[in-house]
Amino acid sequence: MTSALPRDLSCPRIAIRKNGGLELSRIVAGMWRMVEWGMTVEQRIAFIEQCIALGVTSFDHADIYGNYGVEGLFGEALRAQPSLRDRMQLISKCGIRLLSNKRPQHTIQHYDTSAAHIVASAEESLRQLHTDRLDLLLIHRPDPLMDFDEIAQAFTRLKQDGKVLHFGVSNFSHHQFEALDRRIELSTNQVEFSPLHVAPMFDETFDGLQDKGVAPMIWSPLAGGRLFTANDANAENLRLVIKDIADRLHQPFASVVFAWIMQLPSRPFPLTGSGRIEAISVAVAGTTFQLARADWFTILRAARGHDVA
């Protein structure tokens, strides 16, 4: 069956923490592949404008994306069209030191959540993005040497200086999130989740965030494309189950996946990973409908390979 996207799609915007504060578009445009898209400055501006026209106003970055290159590409677009900045929310991450020809001083890939590195990374992101503030800064990965008090102090300094407005983490466990959130209010935990990776639903990650009124951000909601390409028996069956529901609802396959994720009561914010505005539109379409509970659990059963007990 064919599926048609609704006309006049508009992505809603909601507070990522229920007590107010930062509002993000429910679908967040992930920029980590931007180097691969091969866009000119004009094409980048046009893509950003198309996202904003769809209501996708939140853009996710990290200092290391594209071998330390993505933030600079995005910043070129903002420098060429400065009026875009006040129409968007900019998110970035720090805390990983990559082996890179752009960072010859790095002798081993490692984590660095020292206050000095957090502040320096944030300031470099501001330079690369051609902006005076980040709306949200995340610690990219848990660091075995991270000192929660030191991270909180660095975050406080950046906030006092007006350089970062809100803070969060990425890939943190339930306990790690709790430990840092006790020291400084965190807006989110960005984690991997998809029908092919459902662990956060069962390891207290989502439960703990829901309890605090904090919405997770979701990276790789389509499992990095494996939902479309993986050829093991479980993935193939899952694909058929989702396709059957999508055909019956006259919705695109990926829209059903995004709707399935966003139906969780922790209110997840999925990230896209595409430079095609059509793919962004399909994600936004997932905000326009809810699945019947039986359909939702049919996808979960296919994802896990067994019924609930």
Residue closest to 141 by CA, chosen among 130, 126, 128, 151 = 151
> What are 17-36's pLDDT values in tens digits?
998 889 999 999 999 999 99
pLDDT band at 309 (very low <50, low <70, confident <90, very high): confident
User: Looking at this protein, which amino acid is placed at residue 128?
Assistant: Q
Q: pLDDT over 90 for what percent of the chain?
A: 96
Q: How far is residue 55's CA from residue 284's CA, in Å, rounded to a whole number?
A: 9
> What are 137-153's pLDDT values in tens digits?
999 999 999 999 999 99
Catalytic, 65? Answer yes
pLDDT of residue 21: 87
pLDDT of residue 3: 67
Active-site residue identified among 47, 59, 65, 172: 65
Strands (E), the chain: 13-15, 23-25, 28-30, 58-60, 89-94, 96-97, 110-111, 136-139, 167-170, 189-192, 217-219, 269-272
> What are 1-16's pLDDT values in tens digits?
456 687 789 999 999 9
As a whole number of Å, the CA-based R_g of the chain is: 19
Whether residue 66 is predicted with pLDDT greater than 70 in this model: the reply is: yes
